[in-house]
Chains A and B, each alone.
Chain A
Amino acid sequence: MPEAATAALIEKKPESMARMALPDMKGMDHSKMGQGTPAESAGSMKGMNHGGASAEKASSGDMGAMDHGDMQMQGGSAPADARDPHAYSGGYTLEDGPYALPGPRQLRLADEHNFASVMFNTLEHGLSKGDGTTAYDAQAWFGRDYNRFVLKAEGEVANGKIEDSRTEALWSRSIATHWDAQAGARIDHGTGPDRGWLAFGVQGLAPYWFEVDAAAYVGNGGRTALRLGAEYELLLTQRLILQPSAEVNIYGKDDLARGIGRGFSNAAAGLRLRYEISRQFAPYVGVERTALFGKTADIARSEGASTGGTRWVAGVRFWF
Chain B
Amino acid sequence: MKLQAKNPYLLSSPKRRKFVQGLASGGVLLGMGSLPAMGWSQEAKKSAGGAPVLDGTEFNLEIAESAVNFTGNPRMATTINGSIPAPTLRWREGDTVTIRVTNRLRETTSIHWHGIILPYQMDGVPGISFPGIPAGETFTYRFKVEQSGTYWYHSHSAMQELTGMYGAIIVEPANGNAIRADRDHVVLLSDWTDEDPMRVFAKLKVQGDYYNRLQPTAVDFFRDASQNGVSAAVSRRKMWNNMRMNPTDLADLSADTLTFLMNGATPAGNWTGLFRKGERVRLRFINGAGNSFYDVRIPGLKLTVVQADGVNVEPVTVDEFRFGPGETYDVLVEPTDDAHTIFAQSMDRSGYARGTLATRVGLDAPVPQPDKPQWLTMADMMGSMGGNMGGMAGMAGMAGMSDGAQMKMGGGAQDMQGMAGMNHGAMAMDHSKHAMPGGGSLAAPSTQARHARTEYGASTDMRVGMARTNLDDPGIGLRDNGRRVLTLSDLHTIGGPLDPRGAEREVELHLTGNMERYTWSFDGLEFGQSTPVKFNYGERVRVILHNDTMMTHPMHMHGMWSELETPDGKFQARRHTIPVQPAQRVSFLVTADAMGRWAWHCHLMFHMEAGMFREVLVA
Contacts and interface: CB of A to CB of B under 8 A. Distances in A.
A319 B383 CA distance: 37
A73 B453 contact: no
B531 A238 contact: no
Nearest to B421: A65
Interface string B506-520: 011100001011010
B519 A145 contact: yes
B194 interface: no
Contact of B514 (A6, A177, A234): A177
Size category of the binding interface on chain B? 35 or more
B363 interface: no
Contacts of A71: 423, 426, 429, 465
Interface residues of A, number: 82
Nearest to B522: A85
Nearest to B456: A78
A63 B403 CA distance: 21
B471 to A, nearest CB: 23
Interface in A63-104: 63-66, 68, 70-79, 81-86, 88-90, 92-94, 97-101
Interface string B412-451: 1000110110110011010110100000000000000011
Contact of A10 (B127, B237, B521): B237
Contacts of B459: 145-146
A280 interface: yes
A172 to B, nearest CB: 11
A6 B241 contact: yes
Interface in A91-130: 92-94, 97-101, 105-112, 115, 117, 119
Interface stretch (B33-41, B74-82, B206-214, B473-481): B206-214
Contacts of A10: 215-216, 237, 240-241, 246-247
Interface string B201-224: 111011111100111111111100
B7 to A, nearest CB: 9
Given A73-B462, A76-B456, A115 B617 contact: no
Nearest to A117: B206
Contacts of A14: 207-208, 516-517
Contact of A9 (B218, B225, B419, B609): B218
A280 B220 CA distance: 24
Nearest to A238: B213
Interface string B1-16: 0001000111110000
Contact of B206 (A15, A174, A207, A277): A15
A174 B531 contact: no
Interface string A1-37: 0011111111011110000000000000000000000
A115 B452 contact: no
Which of B210, B244, B613 is the most central at the interface, judged by chain A CB atoms within 10 Å of its CB? B244
A162 B239 CA distance: 44
Given A14-B208, A145-B517, A109 B611 contact: yes
B528 interface: yes
Nearest to A242: B218
Interface of B is mostly: mixed
Which of B4, B240, B243, B517 is the most central at the interface, judged by chain A CB atoms within 10 Å of its CB? B243
A85 B128 contact: no
A88 B454 CA distance: 14
A76 B461 CA distance: 11
Contacts of B522: 85
Nearest to A10: B216
Contact of B127 (A9, A107, A146): A107
A207 B516 CA distance: 13
Contacts of A107: 125-128, 527
Nearest to B246: A10
B217 A94 contact: no
Interface in B590-619: 595-597, 608-611, 613, 615, 617, 619
A159 interface: no
A47 B207 CA distance: 29
Nearest to A277: B11
A219 to B, nearest CB: 30
B230 A4 contact: yes
A77 to B, nearest CB: 6
B452 A85 contact: yes
Nearest to B427: A68
A208 B242 contact: yes
A102 to B, nearest CB: 9
B221 A8 contact: yes
A98 B11 CA distance: 53
A90 B524 CA distance: 19
B523 A65 contact: no
Contacts of A93: 531-532
Given A13-B207, A94-B531, A320 B8 contact: yes
Interface string A269-296: 0000000011111000000000000000
Contacts of B615: 94
A205 interface: yes
Contacts of B452: 82-85
A281 B207 CA distance: 13
Interface of A: 3-10, 12-15, 59, 62-66, 68, 70-79, 81-86, 88-90, 92-94, 97-101, 105-112, 115, 117, 119, 145-146, 174-179, 205, 207-209, 234-238, 277-281, 318-320
17 contacts: A7-B233, A8-B221, A13-B206, A63-B242, A76-B456, A78-B454, A82-B450, A88-B507, A90-B617, A99-B596, A106-B132, A109-B608, A111-B529, A177-B458, A235-B215, A236-B217, A281-B9
Going nearest first, the 10 A-B pairs with the smallest beta carbon separation are: A107-B127, A8-B221, A90-B534, A111-B526, A174-B458, A89-B531, A111-B611, A82-B453, A106-B127, A78-B453
Given A83-B508, A146-B459, A177-B514, 9 more contacts: A70-B465, A82-B452, A93-B531, A94-B531, A94-B532, A111-B519, A205-B516, A237-B217, A279-B207
